[in-house]
Structure 1
């Protein structure tokens, strides 16, 4: 089954029928996300060697654009997921890549802090800290406008390098990590139902092996992977549905 066939089926059977309720009540579109996973669309951009669809930004943009016309919340969730996967497919473990490829893992971006512009990328001098003690790292931060907060399975998280110098390091933070706090009511600027909210770590403890790429190499990953994927996909905003082309 082609990804377009799978998308058409999910759109007609799940996303379309649920879109009005998602927008009206602000409920996270869990049924839509699960259906996208079953159809192979969460794993669309994972490399074929890991079991994914092996597709690129053009195909991802097509999927996000079509979904966003009907349900901006689901489009925003998928857009953030694809941008995170651009890093995870390169730096993540084989187990994680397989989970994403089979539609069993939803990730999202936790890169922007209070006081930074909502571009999806942190400033080079991010204030988030990472303190290592043995094989455990304590991450402290307050991340704003995280799409799918408390709903995704993991966060692509940014901090200063563990040695405290200027720069950035990226981490995979599981959603069930102790020390994460998400407000009960979404407080972000994303589309209604996208669960866009602030995520606080005060601190959250992760294994040192949760580092993605080299210490201090996060900015290169963001500029080379995350931002191109974000730029390739449309940006659904609160209350907006994309016009038909």
Structure 2
């Protein structure tokens, strides 16, 4: 595989790196962005739109810029390095993925322009990481559909203008068939949201759906066949999560090395101790392994064959999770007590990496997927 960036991709990387450095280089700026009721800066989100970042995954026919997972990887790495708060994953990668792959192009223009934001309402209290565990119901009526149920941990769900909701219209709670997807306006009658801050500084919401009436065109894709679409979009999101984790790990590794060169003990910098140097080297090895697997994940994310795509993305996420855990723990231990303060970046990177590790499946779950597939497919 060719992992070299094209000229256009290098220019994209330079522009997005510069934007994030200007917007998040000073850690106090992040705190200022968090104070907004949305949990992020609407002004900065508008800048994303002006630079074309919100249109990257969409084709030119859909009003976008015809980018792919590699372009998404570039953006997500930069967001990870800056500990960015904007809902790029929720609205563009996940929400945008449902729109472009589910045949719902009428909202794409507003998403690309930054006036509409999306959130994926899928998790339920009993479902853990099983996409097919859906208790929320969708009942067909003469006027369309009526949704009843509750969703938890909806990333950026308290500020999104539209929610993409999974609901069951047939079968038992854990059946793979009978799940449909719906595009629901956040101001729909019967829909209520309770927003809160997550441990990594982002926002999420608990969503309650009480007899939410929707027109027939609210359905995304085919009735009862929402699970394959969810799995495909989530696999694309896994590649994006890996990229964000690499960006955060890279920044945390650099922060740790800088600290080791300054902190003195017994009259010398602690970075001169051989044991400490070995631990820093282990962090670098883990980072480069994660970077390689993230590139592989980007190459495989849009593969239409789930038999090839699913184990490839699971393998990448499992390895990136292990690297994130090692780098996060080593950084905290090598920093000592300062890493646990709210004023210092290291602890915030650790919290973000912890959330990324657990999003859409923990390490053991992804290893199980690879094992059940018999390892990575030869065609990959």
Alignment of 1:88-107 (within 5 A): 88-107=99-118
Which residue number corresponds to residue 20 of structure 2?
11
- Please report how far the alpha carbon of residue 20 of structure 1 lies from its aligned counterpart in structure 2 after TM superposition: 3.2
Local SS of the residue matching 2:89: helix
Local SS of the residue matching 1:216: coil
1:59 and 2:71 aligned: yes
Which residue number corresponds to residue 85 of structure 1?
96
**TM-score normalised to structure 2 length:** 0.55
- Please report how far the alpha carbon of residue 83 of structure 1 lies from its aligned counterpart in structure 2 after TM superposition: 1.7
Higher relative contact order (CA closer than 8 Å, sequence separation 6+): 1
Distance in 2 separating the partners of 1:22 and 1:241: 18
Which of 229, 232, 235 is equivalent to 2:236?
A: 229
**TM-score normalised to structure 1 length:** 0.82
Conserved? CA contact 1:37–1:104, under 8 Å: no
Which residue number corresponds to residue 227 of structure 2?
219
Alignment of 1:1-245 (within 5 A): 3-16=12-25, 18-22=29-33, 28-29=39-40, 30-74=42-86, 77-81=87-91, 82-117=93-128, 119=129, 122=131, 124-161=132-169, 163=170, 166=175, 167-183=178-194, 185-186=195-196, 189=198, 191-192=200-201, 194-224=202-232, 226-234=233-241, 241-244=248-251
Distance in 2 separating the partners of 1:131 and 1:222: 20
The aligned length equals 233
Q: Which runs of 5+ in 2 are unaligned?
A: 1-7, 252-286, 288-380
Distance in 2 separating the partners of 1:50 and 1:25: 31
Structure having the larger proportion of residues in helix: 2
Distance 1:174 1:92, change over 3 A: farther
Please give the per-residue CA displacement for 1:210-239, whole angstroms capped at 9, x wherever unaligned: 100001110010112x121121022679xx
Conserved? CA contact 1:72–1:191, under 8 Å: no
Q: Which runs of 5+ in 1 are unaligned?
A: none
Please give the per-residue CA displacement for 1:43-73, whole angstroms capped at 9, x wherever unaligned: 2111111120211122212211211221243
- Please report how far the alpha carbon of residue 16 of structure 1 lies from its aligned counterpart in structure 2 after TM superposition: 4.2
Distance in 2 separating the partners of 1:190 and 1:35: 26
Distance in 2 separating the partners of 1:142 and 1:34: 31
RMSD (Å), alpha carbons: 2.8
Greater Rg by CA: 2
Distance 1:83 1:4, change over 3 A: same
- Please report how far the alpha carbon of residue 88 of structure 1 lies from its aligned counterpart in structure 2 after TM superposition: 0.4
Comparing 197-206 and 3-12, the one that deviates more: 3-12
Conserved? CA contact 1:64–1:233, under 8 Å: yes
Distance in 1 separating the partners of 2:206 and 2:47: 26
Local SS of the residue matching 1:99: helix
Local SS of the residue matching 2:250: coil
Distance 1:172 1:16, change over 3 A: farther
